[in-house]
Amino acid sequence: MGWIRWTGRWDKALVLLGISLMAQGPATTPDGFAIARPGYAFSFPRDHGSHPDFRTEWWYFTGHLWGGAEGQQRFGYQLTFFRQASAKGEYKGSSAWRSDQIFLAHGTLTDESERRFLVSERLNRGGLAAGASLDHLAVFNESWKAEQDAAGLFHLHMGVQGAVLDLTMPAPPRPVIFGEAGVSRKGADPSAASHYLTYPRLLSSGTLKLPNQAAITVSGTTWMDHEFSSNQLAADQVGWDWAGIQLRDGRSLMAYRMRSKDGSQDPFSVITEVDARGHITRSTKDFAVSEQGAWTSPTSHTRYPQPLTFEAWGERFKLVPLLPDQELRTARSTGVTYWEGACRVLDGAGKEIGDAYLEQTGYAHSLKGWF
């Protein structure tokens, strides 16, 4: 992963203090789930698989694809698999229908040319209809799947409201591991942390069949996240604004603004740069988010601040959605209403310099109960 350069002495002091507190904190939650702690020994492909000792886990793929005549049609997609554990000991027995693991999934397709946003969701108890391998990437929910083959290739398949997407992407041997000492802190509470693995730029190719149309060839770039934790939020936090940014110059940026109940930015918010060689630069002190307007959902009536501008190291990255309405209302699975969509990235002068996916949670309702 290379070296880590800190920006500001207070960043380092804050993280070192956090590590010290975590070292003194409990190893598990009161109900027995593991807490992300420094010193975790990552091993691949094992850690691409499931971690049932932790309460919550997700495998998250978002991408920007081009296809059609001369590659002029632009699409965005999201495919996220969630695993959520019930309280330990709640379900007993050997039946596949009595698993204490709940698997959920969200799939979306943004079709810029047709100005449409397609959404589907899945909910199944672990067993015959959904599950995940413990020793490599192989997660599925009904017909949707993400898996890695023996040659190291990732394969994705999902169907969303009559659209069907199949993608293949080669993965490097080891992902980027965000955070300090293998732990991504989300708040002052020692349990508000995760193990956070990412492939920020996976070259992707495959086919996309749009509703009532023949399949077309598509290609582009995918961002893949894999996080496992037992708590993502501190007691005074309600949600986050997260962005995975892929710049034309080869850099990738991961940023999240953790929001407190009063709307302020939590000090544990962070932006991380991964350059083309895999070197990491991380900042908390010099990281700020500003809002340049808002979009209000005509369905949920939720107000989302957009566009958002992320600022760090003297640079500005303005995220402008391809479509205003990329809101998910997932009453049949997670019950969470949030905005997750494909965006263009503009610099301070208004020049397009990259692509991004933006996730905005906690605006319709707090996420504290779910995570």
**pLDDT tens digits, 29-51:** 888 999 999 999 999 999 999 99
The pLDDT of residue 235 is 85
Percent of the chain residues past pLDDT 70, beyond the cut: 89
Confidence of residue 370 (pLDDT cuts 50, 70, 90): low
pLDDT > 80? residue 26 = no
Domains detected in the chain: 4-27+53-87+99-360 (2.40.370.10)
Which residues, 6+ apart, have CB-to-CB distance to 100 below 8 Å? Answer: 85, 86, 87, 88, 89, 90, 91, 126
Task: Determine the Cα–Cα distance for residues 293 and 285; give it in Å rounded to an integer.
Answer: 24
For residues 188-215, give the mean pLDDT.
94
Q: Give the pTM.
A: 0.90
pLDDT > 60? residue 15 = no
Burial classification of residue 315, based on how many CB atoms lie within 10 Å of its CB (0-12 exposed, 13-18 middle, 19 or more buried) = middle
Confidence of residue 205 (pLDDT cuts 50, 70, 90): very high
Written as six digits, the tokens of 305 are: 């601040």
Task: Determine the Cα–Cα distance for residues 289 and 92; give it in Å rounded to an integer.
Answer: 46
Asked if 139 and 147 touch (Cβ cutoff 8 Å), the reply is yes
For residues 80-91, give the mean pLDDT.
79
pLDDT > 70? residue 70 = yes
For residues 293-310, give the mean pLDDT.
97
Task: Determine the Cα–Cα distance for residues 343 and 329; give it in Å rounded to an integer.
Answer: 19
Task: Determine the Cα–Cα distance for residues 172 and 235; give it in Å rounded to an integer.
Answer: 37
pLDDT > 60? residue 273 = yes
CA of residue 57 relative to chain centroid, distance:
11
- What single-letter amino acid sits at 370? W
DSSP 28: B
Task: Determine the Cα–Cα distance for residues 125 and 105; give it in Å rounded to an integer.
Answer: 12
Written as six digits, the tokens of 317 are: 């990255």
Task: Determine the Cα–Cα distance for residues 269 and 185; give it in Å rounded to an integer.
Answer: 9
The pLDDT of residue 30 is 87
